[in-house]
Amino acid sequence: MERKEISKSVLKRLPIYLSYLKSLPQGSAEYISATALANALGMGEVQVRKDLAMVSDGGRPKVGYRRESLMDDISQFLGYDNTTDAILVGAGKLGQALLGYSGFEEYGLNILAGFDIQPTIQKTEDGKPIFPMSELENFCKMNKVLMGIITVPAQYAQQVCDQLIACGIKAVWTFAPVHLDVPENILVQNENMATSLALLSMHLQAQMKERK
Amino acid sequence: MERKEISKSVLKRLPIYLSYLKSLPQGSAEYISATALANALGMGEVQVRKDLAMVSDGGRPKVGYRRESLMDDISQFLGYDNTTDAILVGAGKLGQALLGYSGFEEYGLNILAGFDIQPTIQKTEDGKPIFPMSELENFCKMNKVLMGIITVPAQYAQQVCDQLIACGIKAVWTFAPVHLDVPENILVQNENMATSLALLSMHLQAQMKERK
């Protein structure tokens, strides 16, 4: 179906619907309505109806959507169907954990290899190769890699980001707690765990003080 | 020093300063100025100066901050010094990866144990225990746990969140792609990797289309 402009908030809800639909046991009803979905998830019916209409044209009045088709439509819309090959730079603790995390496959992400300025190991436990940075450009171009994951310390992130872009990367997923400057055609998504943890920790400290 | 109200954007920059200061080699100059820090990180001097003044009163005109003290002040401010004990619910692939990730120690986070409705293993490779959900309440109360990490599928997250709050949890770090309703005194931080991946994937799809 024709792709429409879509807001970030819709994009946040779509994975929720998909996750719920996937969780329904085998042998559940073939069809599901926006109303049933809204009720199950405690969300507004109108919103759910609009969201689904954006990604699927399979809805039938009174009956709803065929569950299987709806899952396919959402997956396809979110790009989970197209497997995206990615490489990761910074094979420290976090980098290795991400390299070894097979759950990304569900979202169509396939991390081909890790790169590090000084690899301490040649392979992760799961057999993902870790190469020295000198092989980055060649590898990215040979494998036409378009997504790069950055798990280096903050102060090296910009430099690594620039290198990735020079290697043809168009989408950057970074775990370094720092703003990255990129050209307009490159998308950066920042996963800032250090900030999350600081916020949580500060909240707990404030709570403790109140109790005293 | 007296804790002032602090904005989220300052809180995002502080881990960057800390990470940079930590990265300086042994034997670097004892003092560092806000100007030097700003230049090294490509950030505005006035901003860096203001940020540092918020978290440390050790700055001296012309000389700057003693590096060691500044690191201590930032760490303390961010709460990385107070070790926070946490438990994690949902010991699937992501949960196990987080349980095994030792890098959180740097941010003062100590994950004591994982819980799962149906544990498939009793311990992670690194020896972190995984208990059935029936032991959650007892464990949290015995160990006075205040932080909970949620790595269950989206449709179970609210229910798990409610259980955590009933067990005395005050801060929730969730990786489930769903909004959680909580009382006012509870802080929820959402780490939404599914949305990040969807955004990155959609960006790549759009880029491919443009090229054609």
Given a cut of 60, is residue A3 above it in pLDDT? no
Q: Which residues contact A140 (CB under 8 A, 6 or more apart)?
A: A87, A148, A164, A167, A168, A169
Residue B132 has pLDDT above 70, yes or no: yes
Give the start-to-end residue ranges of the domains of chain B: 8-77, 84-196
pLDDT confidence band for A4 (50 / 70 / 90):
low
A189 to chain B: closest CA residue: B196
Per CATH, the homologous superfamily of domain B84-196 is: NAD(P)-binding Rossmann-like Domain (3.40.50.720)
Compute, in degrees rounded to 10, the torsion defined by CA atoms A25, A31, A32, A34. Answer: 160
- The whole-number pLDDT of residue B4 equals 52
- Hey, are the CB atoms on A173 and B154 less than 8 Å from each other? no
Strands (E), chain A: 31-32, 65-66, 84-89, 109-116, 130-132, 147-150, 171-174, 187-190
Task: Look at residue A46 in the predicted model and tell me its pLDDT.
Answer: 94
Mind listing the pLDDT tens digit for each residue in A73-98? 999 888 888 789 999 999 987 888 88
Q: Which architecture, in CATH terms, is B8-77? A: Orthogonal Bundle (1.10)
Q: How far apart are CA B105 and CA A97, in angstroms?
A: 15
What residue of A is the nearest CA neighbor of B148? A200
Q: CB of B66 within 8 Å of any CB in chain A?
A: no
- What is the percentage of chain A residues whose pLDDT exceeds 90? 48
To the nearest whole number, what is the mean pLDDT of chain B?
88
Q: Which residues of B140-151 are buried (b: 16+ CB within 10 A; e: fewer)?
A: beeeebbbbbbb
pLDDT at B5: 63
Arithmetic mean of pLDDT, A59-65: 90
Report the residue of A197, A199, A202 to disrupt the B interface, i.e. the one with the largest count of B CBs within 10 Å: A197
Is the predicted pLDDT of residue B9 greater than 70, yes or no? yes
Triad A122, A128, A129: Cα angle to 5°: 35
Q: What is the pLDDT of residue A2?
A: 45
Across the interface, do B107 and A198 touch by the CB < 8 Å criterion? yes
Q: Chain B within 8 Å of A119 (Cβ-Cβ)?
A: no
* pLDDT confidence tier of residue A5, bands split at 50, 70 and 90: low
Given a cut of 90, is residue A45 above it in pLDDT? Answer: yes
Torsion of CA B26, B27, B33, B36, to 10 degrees: -80
Specify the 3-state DSSP secondary structure of B160.
helix
Question: Which range (A11-15, A143-147, B55-59) has the least confidence?
Answer: A11-15
Q: Report residue B23 as tokens.
A: 């990265």
pLDDT of residue A158: 92
Residue B182 confidence (pLDDT) above 70: yes
Contact between A101 and B94 using a beta-carbon 8 Å cutoff: yes
Nearest in space to B114 (alpha carbons), one of B159, B150, B161: B150
Listing DSSP states for B161-194 in one string gives HHHHHHTT--EEEE-SSS-----TT-EEEE--HH
pLDDT over threshold 80, residue B210: no
Report pLDDT for B26. Answer: 78
Residue among B14, B154, B203 minimizing CB distance to A171: B203
Mean pLDDT, range B102-110, rounded to an integer: 84
Q: What is the pLDDT of residue A203?
A: 84
* Residue to substitute from B3, B16, B109, interface A, most A β-carbons within 10 A: B16
Confidence of residue B36 (pLDDT cuts 50, 70, 90): very high
pLDDT of residue A1: 44
Query: What contacts B12, CB < 8 A, 6 or more positions away?
Result: A177, A192, A195
More confident residue, A205 or B182: B182
Q: Which residue shows structure tokens 């807001």?
A: A7
User: CA nearest B188 in A: which residue?
Assistant: A200
Place of tokens 């769903």: B178
Residue B144 has pLDDT above 80, yes or no: yes
| Mean pLDDT over each residue of chain A, to the nearest integer | 88
- Is A12–B177 a contact, with Cβ atoms under 8 angstroms apart? yes
Per-residue pLDDT, averaged over B108-128, amounts to 91
pLDDT of B186 strictly over 80: yes
Q: Residue B2: what pLDDT? A: 45
Q: Provide the pLDDT for residue A191.
A: 84
**Which has more confidence, B30 or B23?**
B30
- In this predicted structure, what is the pLDDT of residue B196? 82
Q: What is the mean pLDDT of residues A122-137?
A: 92
pLDDT surpasses 70 at B3? no
